[in-house]
Structure 1
Amino acid sequence: MTHPPCVFCDLLAAGQATWVAREPEAAAFFPLPDSALAPGHTLVVPRRHVVGVLDADPQTLAATVRLVQRVGQAMTHALEATGVVVLNASGPHSGQSVPHLHFHVVPRWPDDQAHLWPADRSRHHVNGDAHHLLAAALRHDQPR
């Protein structure tokens, strides 16, 4: 199956990035300097092209999240961050900027004065009780 051109797939193929880690199933690299949210802000992507969390196979997702965790742990050790924010958007209308699964791992410190947590709340209303609808969907969900 061929995919439309993908900036992250092209970057992985060309090998031109400021790499933090390159593993068999996932890679981590710095974003362009003008888009970094903090010193050490890192993008983690699977090497296999998947659009987002919603279509990733369990193995690809697990390998990518394992690298997210390792990058976050490295930030607390090497950069003395006291925590990290992990950001992801997947699917239409989510704000996903590149249609290739990616996680932003952003180190945090007590004095950084950054507000990285979403502050806006959706005004969308669902037809029914969201809790019951989700619980029912998950009870009927079949493993891949």
Structure 2
Amino acid sequence: MDCTFCSLMREGAARWVFRGPSAAAFAPLNPLSPGHTLVVPTSHRADIFDTPPEVLSEVMALVQRVAEEMRTALGAGGVNILSASGPGSEQSVPHLHFHVVPRWPGDGFSTWPDQQSRHRVEGDPVARLATAMTAHRQAAGHD
């Protein structure tokens, strides 16, 4: 199975905003707003769980740079940064990607969910996450 985004990078068949050695940015086929840009790692990484921290750092640095240019070059008042990773997240292409969507006051749409998940987790999910984060940090020798 060939990845759509890997094919775009290999064939160069995209409207490129930026191409670097570890991260690239290009226009999606159906933009949500003028200047909407996708930022991806240049190597195939299925999702955030499959991406090493050093690659994620490069991708996020490009997300930030694109967002800054949207503010200066396009006059955007802000941006939405959207991503989905893994089964059940509505990830449409199995290659890590971040949508950087420029926004302006009164632009007429919302990218923020207007309802809460029906899924429930036993106990206190925040406490479970905090405990897991502490255990992971201790196992890595950071305490």
| Structure 1: unaligned runs, 5 residues or longer | none
RMSD between aligned residues: 1.0
What's the secondary structure of 1:124's corresponding residue?
coil
* Counterpart residue number, 2:109: 114
* Counterpart residue number, 2:134: 139
Q: Which runs of 4+ in 1 moved over 6 A?
A: none
- Percent of counterpart pairs with the same letter? 53
* Counterpart residue number, 1:9: 6
Q: Give the whole-Å Cα distance in 2 for the aligned partners of 1:79 and 1:114.
A: 18
1:86 pairs with one of 81, 84, 106: 81
Deviations, residues 8-36 of structure 1 (Å, cap 9, x unaligned):
0111111110000001100000001xx21
| Structure 2: unaligned runs, 5 residues or longer | none
Deviations, residues 24-53 of structure 1 (Å, cap 9, x unaligned):
100000001xx2100000000000111111
TM, length-normalised to structure 1: 0.93
- Give runs of aligned pairs for residues 1-144 of structure 1, distance below 5 A: 4-32=1-29, 35-141=30-136, 142-143=139-140
Q: Which residue type is aligned with residue 97 of structure 2?
A: H
Q: Which residue type is aligned with residue 129 of structure 2?
A: L
TM, length-normalised to structure 2: 0.93
Q: Which residue type is aligned with residue 23 of structure 1?
A: G
Deviation at 1:117, TM superposition (A): 1.0
Q: Give the whole-Å Cα distance in 1 for the aligned partners of 2:116 and 2:95.
A: 25
Deviation at 1:120, TM superposition (A): 2.4
Q: Give the whole-Å Cα distance in 2 for the aligned partners of 1:68 and 1:39.
A: 16
Q: Give the whole-Å Cα distance in 2 for the aligned partners of 1:120 and 1:45.
A: 28
The alignment covers a number of residue pairs equal to: 138
Q: Give the whole-Å Cα distance in 2 for the aligned partners of 1:129 and 1:56.
A: 28
Q: Which residue type is aligned with residue 15 of structure 1?
A: G
